[in-house]
Structure 1
Amino acid sequence: MAVDSDAEARLDDGERGKWTMTDEDARQYVRGAVDATVSLVESTFGPAGMEKLIVTEDKQNRRERVRVGDAGRIFDAIERMDGFAHPVAALFVDGADGMQSGLHDGTSTAVLLAGAFLDEGFELVDQGLAPSSVVVGYGIARARAGAVLDDLARSVEPDDQETLADVAATTMTTNLESAVRQDLSRRVASTVTQLSAGRDDGWINTDHAKILSQPGAESEVVDGLVLSRPTDAGPNGWGIDESIDDATIAILDREIDFEETASVLDGGEGVTLSSPEAADTYRAQLSDRIESTAETLVARGVDVLVCLEKLDESIVRPFEEAGIAVVDKATYPKEDVYRLAEATDGTVVSNLSELTDERLGRAERVGQRTVGEEVWTAFEGCPGPVLTVVASASTAEEARRREEALEDAIETTAIALMDGQLLPGAGAPAAAVATEIREHATEVTGREQLAVEAFADALDSIPATLARNAGHDPVAAVAALRTAHAADGRSAAGIDPQTGDPVDAWDAGVVEPRRVFSQAIETAAAIVEQLLTIDTVLYPNVTLPGYTPRSERN
């Protein structure tokens, strides 16, 4: 939103250097920034939401265009480029970022709720209600919301694969064909269940699940880790020429430097060669040392050497000639060498001298193949709790989108299984909480009652946006949904994206972890407490620009 010119006109020359807004002007400044930020993600919400094409930078600071369809990734793409320079927008986005980093779902819900809570709250403040009263009333409503969600929630067990697959499918709102979504959701459910097996604490480490997708790949779940490297990565190792059974694996995170331990030293530190004879002796001793080390590893049963760094060809060639397959420059991503150690029950070492028998990893099979623009080295039949979920794709862009969808689905499904609680989706929780709060709002005395009712009205923004993005009349859809919930105190009715009519979300298989919606409400409320109570905007000695994003319709 642009700075109000009338507000600037009210500042005399002595005050202009401090750039201060107070009261109504400050609220309008905050409200405009919030509305503009919400507008960035509103049209992406729900299974019928649209996507954004964003020009940003990748992690190597190279310009790229990405298609994204949820608030978390939209904000991330913007922050990788110029970011949110506007102070209010930055506060708003920072408050919502925790949803994406912690839960991988619910960020859009939190943003929409925060925007609606602030709109309703500002309306009450404009009518004379103190911001602190709005915050208190919202707190009362949140407490009631928790009780409603307790009654609405259902439990889920690890053997309920169908329900866990529904959770995964609900999360993957990316534009996927129905058959593809169902196939991938079943693989996600199976993966999360396997990751949970054998743990007494109930914790599921989703870092033990790697996601891969490349054009030409076939969808599967590999019992172990698939190391992926670009075909142009430039390692010196030949990799795995032929499949290796019952493989013993050594894993290093540093390059091997035999010069550090070479004994031909003419002048103390480092290698100083004072004559041609000394150089010949040094090279011969260094070559003997490399060959001796390779023979020692072979004698200990090492079949595969995996190194995070690129190894020198003078080291790789003798190792391979001795019968050790070398996979070097395994930096894509570099965390995979540590994940490989988890999978093979081995230990990552920095020096070959640290490589005891107990630190060697094992796999039933190790093989290698080229898939799309990557070389995949598969370590299968591993003893550790690591799995690789592979998704088929026809293009590189489709592969990226499926990897993102699977990443979110695994995180969300794991949360559902760890918590053991589910809620119906499709806007049903918001409608159920709104109905309950309206029914009991009159029990709240004082001005806070108005804020409690406003909280319920704001919740309607969730089903209304779902209906609007699906092409239906949001007013009619919300009215029909209110009627359905009024008729049944524990209704799971949500919005059917096909018809806009109420549908039982449990029966439709649209379910989500209880924690996602609960956390969305808490995140939105925290944002409101930060922004609703701002009555002065002060930025000393700077003339701030306005915040006027371009309309999507222009």
Structure 2
Amino acid sequence: MQHENTCWSLLESDSPFESFRTRVAWTPYRRYFLLVLRWLCCAMAGVKALNPKAEVARAQAALAVNISAARGLQDVLRSNLGPKGTMKMLVSGAGDIKLTKDGNVLLHEMQIQHPTASLIAKVATAQDDITGDGTTSNVLIIGELLKQADLYISEGLHPRIIAEGFEAAKEKSLAVLEEVKVTREMDRETLINVARTSLRTKVHAELADLLTEAVVDAVLAIAKPNEPTDLYMVEIMEMKHKTDCDTQLIRGLVLDHGARHPDMKKRVEDAYILTCNVSLEYEKTEVNSGFFYKSADEREKLVAAERKFIEDRVQKIIALKNKVCPNGDKGFVVINQKGIDPFSLDALAKEGIVGLRRAKRRNMERLTLACGGIAMNSVDDLTPECLGHAGLVYEHTLGEEKYTFIEKCGNPRSVTLLVKGPNKHTLTQIKDAVRDGLRAVKNAIEDGSVVSGAGAFEVAVADALVKHKPNVKGRAQLGVQAFADALLVIPKVLAQNSGYDPQETLLKLQTEYKESGQLVGVDLSTGEPMVAGEAGVWDNYSVKKQLLHSCTVIASNILLVDEIMRAGMSSLKGTLKHPQSDGQPAVNIHGIHRSACQTSLSC
């Protein structure tokens, strides 16, 4: 009531509003005007009455806060876009350093305090989770949509009209996307172009060209016709060794451990592979149980019975080896998910069998897909049909670490990308790039179509929207124009990051597109227009489609926010209230605290 009476007195007593009160006093709508004003005063005081520490930003202030946050996040990621983008160094509280230009990594690692910026970051990272790319573009377009909308809102246009224009522009953009997409058979050459376009935005050109072929061959190896591609069947193994350009594709599997017996062979050719999940060591029973004996003889018999139980399992494996390798001219490798005790390792080593224990669960399925065969949970029904085959199995020692390479597998359905680099920063950067490259190739195969890159798609859509604008009724045309102008941020930033004048480059692109009718993008080497398709610069269709949907929805929702309230339970924790203080805070434990509207980005 205190806030209400204060606001109401502005019209009932002498105040700076006296002249305004006089003008309203004799109008026929005076009564209705005062009722509306009283309702507004009550609404403003409502949150304060419930929570005295609540903080509220309304109308233009709320919109300014949101647009400022979006543009702030846009400024952080703007310089990352494209092959010529710059790197960011992230330093954690513990002093760990991460060098990256991947928008998804930046948004995950940065500590973003502003609520609106955090919302945009979550939308952008969701884009990466769904399609594997487009994070930086998402942030740039959302920020530019709000920037363009602010120009019209400052002139009195209602945000709802802008949002309606955005929706109309989105529908037209999706229609243009369907027209300009190129549907073709996804052969190796096309996939290499798609992967190269993605990877060159993450790492330097020489490494990108090397990774491109490795990534494409990896996906083609595991892809099955008319079935979804499971990228988990591509193992990404890192090895701190040599240089980044020594990264290679292993058509098989690399295990991060070696044999556990010194007498076992370090290199086996033309080997049978037995993949099993059988305990070859003494282990406790699944239920609580005990064995009791009266004498030492009985104890020895119990120990012998336990030993014989394990030995029988080992002998069945040895018998299978002797059956498939009667002349001893072929190798035999046992890879077990469970343990193998020293006695069993001795028995296997005497028979020339290489035994690896404690293999990771994730590698068991990969082993059978790479080498063939069946993963066995028992040794009672071992047959030659359950065995896989590898042309070469060898152990590689790097410092104190041991790696087992299983190579030369016939038609492997699971492969390994062995990432090498001199330090942790390089390894992490390559792994992030490889994951994005794998997703790009997978998307191209599943979409069956691609879209011209280098900003060519955005230039074409902006031109189509300008032509489509007269078909939109009323002031929503301004929203369509704002959408078209916002999309052009992509070619402008690409040119700017490459050292060219963005406006001049954009004019060249638009002129060339109108004259030739071909989808032209920015040639980052010269700054001149180029036909993106002929240059082999392709983007994913699914990434562009998701980009148009998510950017429009989030930008429209942010525009329609007219009030920001921080009035949660956390804001009440620092307030001690006196029972007779009419709800007003008696002591503020936290002292002066920052408003949600004043928080900023920090990393």
Q: TM-score, normalised by structure 2?
A: 0.77
What do residues 191-243 of structure 1 show as CA deviations (whole Å, max 9, x unaligned)?
333333xx4415333222233453248554333222234x8xxx846676221
- Report SS of the residue matched to 1:117: helix
- CA deviation string 1:318-349 (max 9, x = no partner): 44445432222334xx5223222332334445
Tell me how far apart the structure 1 counterparts of residues 268 and 249 of structure 2 sit (CA, whole Å): 19
CA distance in structure 2 between the partners assigned to 1:88 and 1:192 by the alignment = 38
What is the aligned partner in structure 2 of residue 93 from structure 1? 121
Q: Take 1:115 and 1:320, find their aligned partners in 2: how far apart are those partners? A: 65
Structure 1 spans left out of the alignment, 5+ residues: 1-9
Partner of 2:101: 69
The equivalent residue for 2:525 is: 498
Q: Structure 1 residue 434 and structure 2 residue 462: aligned?
A: yes
Counterparts of 1:191-270 in structure 2, within 5 Å, are 191-196=218-223, 199-201=224-226, 203-214=228-239, 215-216=241-242, 218-229=246-257, 236=260, 241-252=266-277, 258-260=282-284, 269-270=289-290
Match of 2:70 among 27, 34, 53: 34
Name the aligned partner's letter for residue 532 of structure 2. Answer: A
Aligned with residue 314 of structure 2, among 294, 310, 327: 294
- How far has the Cα of 1:294 moved from its partner? 0.9
Taking a change above 3 Å as real, the CA distance of residues 247 and 443 of structure 1, as seen in their structure-2 partners, is same
Q: Partner of 1:259: helix, strand, or coil?
A: coil
Partner of residue 336, structure 1: 363
Counterparts of 1:175 and 1:374, CA distance in 2 = 30
What is aligned with 1:4?
Answer: none
1:309–1:328 CA contact under 8 A, matched in 2: yes
Q: Which residue in the other structure is 1:49 paired with?
A: 85
Q: Which residue of 2 aligns with 1:325?
A: 354
Task: Give distance in 1, aligned partners of 2:91 and 2:225.
Answer: 45
* CA positional deviation for 1:288: 2.5
Evaluate the alpha carbon distance shift between residue 533 and residue 393 of structure 1 in structure 2; reply closer, same or farther with a 3 A threshold.
same
Paired residue total:
519
Give the superposition deviation at 1:72: 0.8
SS in 2 for 1:150: helix
Alpha-carbon contact 2:265-2:352 (below 8 Å) kept: no
Q: 2:233, 2:274 → 1: CA distance?
A: 19
Q: What per-residue deviation string (whole Å, max 9, x for no partner) do you get for residues 82-126 of structure 1? A: x44443233212211122222221111111111111222344334
What is the Cα deviation at residue 287 of structure 1?
Answer: 2.4
Question: What are the ranges of 5 or more consecutive residues in structure 2 without an aligned counterpart?
Answer: 1-43, 325-331, 572-592
Aligned equivalents of 1:422, 1:242: Cα separation in 2: 45
Matched, 1:508 2:544: no
Higher deviation after alignment, 459-468 or 311-320? 311-320
What is the CA-CA distance between 1:463 and the residue it aligns to? 0.9
The structure-2 alpha-carbon separation of the partners of 1:86 and 1:219, relative to structure 1 and needing over 3 Å to count, comes to closer
Task: Write out aligned runs for 1:39-438 (5 A).
Answer: 39-56=75-92, 64-78=96-110, 83-159=111-187, 161-173=188-200, 176-196=203-223, 199-201=224-226, 203-214=228-239, 215-216=241-242, 218-229=246-257, 236=260, 241-252=266-277, 258-260=282-284, 269-271=289-291, 276-301=296-321, 303-308=332-337, 311-313=340-342, 315-331=344-360, 334-348=361-375, 360-370=387-397, 375-382=403-410, 384-390=412-418, 393-438=421-466
Moved more, 134-143 or 379-388: 379-388
**Residue aligning to 1:479:** 507
CA distance in 1, matches of 2:342, 2:68: 61
Tell me by how many angstroms 1:498 deviates. 2.3
Equivalent AA in structure 2 for residue 258 of structure 1: Y
Q: After the TM superposition, which of the residue ranges 493-502 and 301-310 deviates more from structure 2?
A: 301-310
The secondary structure found in structure 2 opposite 1:365 is strand
Question: Contact 2:282–2:310 at 8 Å: present in 1 too?
Answer: yes
In structure 1, the residue matched to 2:564 is 537
Query: CA-to-partner distance for each residue in 1:45-73, whole Å, 9 max, x for gaps?
Result: 1111011111349xxxx873211112111
Cα distance between partner residues in 2 of 1:110 and 1:178? 24
TM-aligned CA distance change 1:477 to 1:296, over 3 Å: same
- The CA deviation at 1:437 is 0.5
Give the aligned partner of residue 23 of structure 1. 59
Distance 2:152 2:292 in 1: 81
Q: Is the 8 A contact 1:344 1:361 kept in 2?
A: yes
Call closer, same or farther: CA 1:325–1:485 in 2, change over 3 Å. same
State the distance in 1 between where 2:130 and 2:339 align: 34
Q: Contact conserved, 1:290 with 1:318, CA < 8 A, in 2?
A: no
What is the alpha-carbon distance in structure 2 between the residues aligned to residue 549 and residue 312 of structure 1?
A: 55
Q: Kindly report the root-mean-square deviation, in angstroms, between the aligned alpha carbons of the 2 structures.
A: 3.2
